[in-house]
Amino acid sequence: MGAGATEPLLEPGQALDRLAAWKGRIDQLAADTRAMSERLGELRVTAADDNRMVEVTVDAQGALVDIRLGRRIQQVEPETVARTIMATMREARRKTADRAQEIITETLGTESPAARAMAAQVADRLRTAGAGEAGTRDRDGW
């Protein structure tokens, strides 16, 4: 067969079977994608610093959804509190990236190049979010 050769024609029954199998795979992928999206939409991860001065909760996007400050913040410099908040946010985002990758793997598997790319992109975005925020101050010390 040459470069322009095509596969032999299928019998009508075989063609219908192939289409039904293809549709079944597409339907399953759509259901798995919906399940993944729902689970990621519900994802919340909480992290606390070792001294329990700060506790933060972030969503699947790495956005802050809750912050709790312990009484200990009254005994330390504001700059220390700020650094602790930022470090705790980075830890929560790292944990969120790990959990998001698990959800993607559990729902879409590891066979799909698209699923692997999605997991890598989510992890990269969350792990690098806020990486440049530490130590920045304006002229008023903020």
CATH number at 68 reads 3.30.1310.10
4 in a domain, yes or no? no
15 in a domain, yes or no? no
Residue 138 pLDDT: 46
Instruction: Name every residue whose Cβ is closer than 8 Å to that of residue 90 and which is 6 or more positions away in sequence.
Output: 130, 131
12 in a domain, yes or no? no
Write out the residue range of the structural domain in which residue 69 sits.
Answer: 31-128
Over residues 1-38, the pLDDT tens digits come to 445 556 667 788 888 888 888 898 889 889 998 999 99
CB 97 within 8 A of CB 130: no
Residue 130 pLDDT: 62
114 in a domain, yes or no? yes
107 in a domain, yes or no? yes
Low-confidence ranges of the chain (pLDDT < 70): 1-8, 130-142
Give the total number of structural domains in the chain: 1
53 in a domain, yes or no? yes
Alpha-carbon distance of 35 to 67, in angstroms, equals: 28
61 in a domain, yes or no? yes
Token duo for residue 60:
């699947």
8 in a domain, yes or no? no
